[in-house]
Amino acid sequence: MGVKSSIEWTESTWNPVTGCTKINEGCTHCYKDIPISFIHQVFDIMKRAHWHRFQILTKRSERLAELASLLSYPDNVWMGVTVENVSYIKRIDYLRNIPAAVRFLSLEPLLGPLFDIDLTGIDWVIVGGESGPGARPMDKKWALDIQHQCRKADVPFFLNNGAA
């Protein structure tokens, strides 16, 4: 089903949706108006493939919140949002209300400091920089501060060295 991945925090990827519409600066080097019927089909496949763990990641937290009551999140489906800098911290509030078994943050590419993150209801935090041609630098102080916040909140922290 999936393709072997070089992403450190996952083994393989499955992208049932392709293409991209840029919505903010985090998309500079990197989904879209997807019908709910298609999303239901994807969720049905994930539910039937219960032996896999699916980690869904989005920047479209408002759409995520709109669809939350229309979807059934099986235990093998984890939900995450990307937060690149303080301008998008509100995505965490949307995620917090999603009835997924695991809610996680992908703070990558981390493009600025994120102080005083409310980690209530968050199960895992991934931090990483940008990679590839023209990659913008990540200050390691930002990552260390987030690691400290995670320790204080007893939330697992993962530093994605491949993207730094």
What are 55-77's pLDDT values in tens digits?
Answer: 999 998 998 999 999 999 999 99
Residue 32 is predicted with a pLDDT of 79
Residue-level pLDDT at 40? 95
Say what the pLDDT of residue 28 is: 46
Per-residue pLDDT of the chain (164 residues; tens, 9 = 90+): 566 766 777 677 787 876 666 666 554 444 477 889 999 999 999 999 999 999 999 998 998 999 999 999 999 999 999 999 999 999 999 999 999 999 999 999 999 999 999 999 999 999 999 888 888 999 999 999 999 999 999 999 999 876 54
DSSP classification of residue 50 = T
Question: What pLDDT score does 2 carry?
Answer: 65
Burial class of residue 17, CB neighbours in 10 A (0-12, 13-18, 19+): exposed
Separation CA 85–CA 110 (nearest Å):
6
pLDDT at 52: 93
Q: What is the pLDDT of residue 164?
A: 43
Across the beta sheet with 77-82, what order do the strands follow? Answer: 54-58, 77-82, 102-107, 124-128, 157-160
pTM: 0.85
